[in-house]
Amino acid sequence: MTTRPTRRFDYETSGSAIYTESFRRIRQGADLSAFTSEQAQVAVRMIHAAGDLDLPRHIVFHPELVTAARTALRAGAPIFVDAHMIDSGITRRRLPADNEVRCLLRDDRAAELAAEWGTTRSAAAVSLWGQDLAGAVVAIGNAPTALFHLLEIIADGGPRPAAVIGVPVGFVGSAESKQALADSDLGVPWLVVHGHRGGSAMAASAVNALASESEL
């Protein structure tokens, strides 16, 4: 039998209360004035995932990002991600059309292409998305090389996704890849977090917010 430990600290134990109070504090403490109400829904989720009230200073939305992503998701578009942690973090019950989430990082072909091309598996895996990339929602939270590779595919005339969440984390290529996405003129709406911040949790939180249009 599992014995309950002696409670020694005063803390909230209700999951629903913690959830509600967390988002109340975010909306009270974060400056969301730069965002539309729909963008703020996404930003709040990302702040919650990052635990960073300063994050809004670094989040930038293409004006059409929210509408484009939600329209694609409602139509059943697949979601392509660069890391399995994003796949795990996406809440399936939020997806409006039982959308498929795909990560091909562990596909043997990704390793083979990476070796042949002299790049990362994350970048090579993007090429395996193929024609299904057209009209899809993309969330990149781990590898700057994946985001750069995606932009190169589109620039070469490849299939264009409906929306790109570009938030790769790190200190090598992260800031540069996100700036390249924001500076691109490829006709694809985007969301970025400028600088070194990012990560799988942040990318998954953005997808979850876009998948559900309910107010927090």
34/49 Cα distance (integer angstroms): 20
8 Å CB contact between 135 and 162: yes
48 is catalytic: yes
Residues facing residue 102 across a β-bridge? 80
Determine the pLDDT at residue 121.
97
**Contact partners, residue 204, CB within 8 Å, separation at least 6:** 49, 85, 86, 88, 89, 90, 139, 141
Helices 37-50 + 65-74 axis angle, to 10 = 80
Determine the pLDDT at residue 15.
95
142/84 Cα distance (integer angstroms): 10
Determine the pLDDT at residue 215.
60
Residues facing residue 163 across a β-bridge? 137
Query: Which residue ranges in the chain fall short of pLDDT 70?
Result: 214-216
134/114 Cα distance (integer angstroms): 23
Of 48, 58, 149, 196, which is the active-site residue?
A: 48
Cα–Cα separations (whole angstroms), residue 213 to 80, 119, 121, 138: 20, 38, 34, 18
Determine the pLDDT at residue 216.
58
Q: Which amino acid is at 166?
A: G
The secondary structure of the chain in percent helix, strand, coil, rounded to multiples of 5, reads 50, 10, 40
Determine the pLDDT at residue 213.
72
Determine the pLDDT at residue 141.
98
| Residue extents of the structural domains in the chain | 15-211
In CATH, the number for domain 15-211 is: 3.40.50.10230
10/180 Cα distance (integer angstroms): 47
Structure tokens at 16: 């629903």
pLDDT tens per residue, range 22-50:
999 999 999 999 999 999 999 999 999 99
8 Å CB contact between 206 and 50: no
Determine the pLDDT at residue 2.
87
Of 203, 216, 180, 188, the residue nearest 32 (C-alpha): 216
pLDDT tens per residue, range 144-160:
999 999 999 999 999 99
